[in-house]
Structure 1
């Protein structure tokens, strides 16, 4: 059974399980870097925003022998956890900028890989990246429900891109607080034991606490300067994904060409296509406070 056939089969089974006021459909979303993903959307009468549940992981479970009925049960349980409640039933909220301006946030994505998307949205250039804007509709332990801000929204709200940037600068670091940790500590969290000291002591991860589109923490005021104070010297920034970047002290880093080759290889072999940020390695100069490509 192909992935498309699997989605269609799951759609039919879910339709049999839900009540009449719920509608089930297959929905395709354009994700980062032009990646198109198909999933199941369940919509309810009176609620105008619904999450899409992507099925790649469930398909892997199916190929390993898990039954479709068990998968459908899991999907319906997940939907009940992440479904929208009363917050956004009033679609009028989204039409008035004053009612949603405190939820405007930004993300950074690669410019070259997102030319089609960038024709439809307001954005600001940053290095070889683009700063794009979202409305953070819901943020909880299950993740983030968001709406991409498009050019048509600017017209509806009668605002400029500069207005979005102003509010996003204020909101993003409040809604998604910064996380700056030594890579050694993160590995210890994952492995469950403390590592001995050695190479890599001066490698850090910069992200947000949810580790979701956390590469945007690059833009947080004074964050790069403060990181430089901790590291104690100039450093390189490796864009490991849209979710985080890696900071490496210059004294511990190989030549920039080697770092760029490493990032390119990781993007091609280890990072999901829709999560790739850039192949460009950046250099932070503490004296000038500049990020240099």
Structure 2
């Protein structure tokens, strides 16, 4: 069974489980980095409330041996857990789209790769940043692990009657206040997922690495608590303080749209080697939709500006 047949079968099985209170329709959409996702739109009958479930990962589970019944049961549970509150009526959503003041407290931004998203950027307000672009969305609701968001496009901007500069300034101010930067040692994050015995082994490995290495610099994870934490690059207060603390510039490794890694630059870094590492991790560990860039950036401690220090290949 190929993916097309799988989606059709899931549509039939879910429609049977959900009954006449819902309609189920096939749906596909080009997401970040031209990544085409396929799935289903689940909509409550008689309302304009609905949700989209992408089935690409579920199809992979089917290929690995999960049965259709198992997958349909998991999807049915997912729909129940992510039920959209009825107070999010069509009138409420229309008000957000029509009124900038109503939407402003819920507007956030996202960093995407500029070259990989040229078609998307033609229809939305954006700001170039390095080899990236800043785009904007309204976070409408969060239900358990699911989130409902509206991408701000040029049509919405016309209704609001504002320019991109105001949108950017207001959004960054809002995010600085509500989703401040978070900086953590990467080793501490890794340890957070370990039991006590695993921590002891990990700490011993790190200790030996430091003994065998001339430098003691470590990787640090920079993010914020928004859906797309790599946007913490756009307000650099934490980077400025950290650069002063370590008394050197910072290399920035764009690990994904969710966070970036900071590496104190002591002047002996092999930029090409670091770029190869970032590109390999993107290819092996990060899904295409979540990739940010293959380039290496640098935060200059004196000028407090970020630049591309080593240009990577297109993603």
TM-score by length of 1: 0.91
Aligned counterpart, 1:243 = 258
Q: Which moved more, 1:115-124 or 1:271-280?
A: 271-280
| Aligned partner (choices 135, 138, 141) of residue 138 of structure 1 | 141
Aligned counterpart, 1:172 = 175
State the Cα deviation string for residues 77-114 of structure 1 (Å, max 9, x = none): 11121121134212332222221111111011111111
Aligned counterpart, 1:161 = 164
How much has 1:55 moved relative to structure 2? Answer: 1.7
Aligned length: 292
Q: Does residue 1:258 correspond to 2:273, yes or no?
A: yes
Q: Which moved more, 1:47-56 or 1:36-45?
A: 47-56
Contact kept in structure 2, 1:47 and 1:88, CA below 8 Å: no
Mark the runs of 5 or more structure 2 residues left unpaired by the alignment: 211-215, 309-315
Change in Cα spacing, 1:139 to 1:18, as seen in structure 2 (3 Å) is closer
Query: 1: distance between equivalents of 2:293 and 2:49?
Result: 31
Change in Cα spacing, 1:49 to 1:238, as seen in structure 2 (3 Å) is farther
Query: 2: distance between equivalents of 1:99 and 1:38?
Result: 32
For the residue of structure 2 that corresponds to 1:18, the secondary structure is: helix
Q: Does residue 1:233 correspond to 2:233, yes or no?
A: no
Query: 2: distance between equivalents of 1:17 and 1:230?
Result: 58
Aligned counterpart, 1:271 = 286
Aligned counterpart, 2:221 = 205
Q: Does residue 1:31 correspond to 2:46, yes or no?
A: no
Query: 2: distance between equivalents of 1:209 and 1:162?
Result: 24
Change in Cα spacing, 1:72 to 1:159, as seen in structure 2 (3 Å) is same
Change in Cα spacing, 1:87 to 1:264, as seen in structure 2 (3 Å) is same
Query: 2: distance between equivalents of 1:133 and 1:265?
Result: 29
Query: 2: distance between equivalents of 1:264 and 1:78?
Result: 34
Query: 2: distance between equivalents of 1:267 and 1:49?
Result: 36
Query: 2: distance between equivalents of 1:79 and 1:176?
Result: 28
How much has 1:128 moved relative to structure 2? Answer: 1.2
Query: 2: distance between equivalents of 1:205 and 1:220?
Result: 15
| Aligned partner (choices 122, 125, 136) of residue 122 of structure 1 | 125
Q: Which moved more, 1:166-175 or 1:51-60?
A: 166-175
Change in Cα spacing, 1:258 to 1:39, as seen in structure 2 (3 Å) is same
Aligned counterpart, 2:2 = 2
Aligned counterpart, 1:289 = 304
Change in Cα spacing, 1:49 to 1:36, as seen in structure 2 (3 Å) is farther
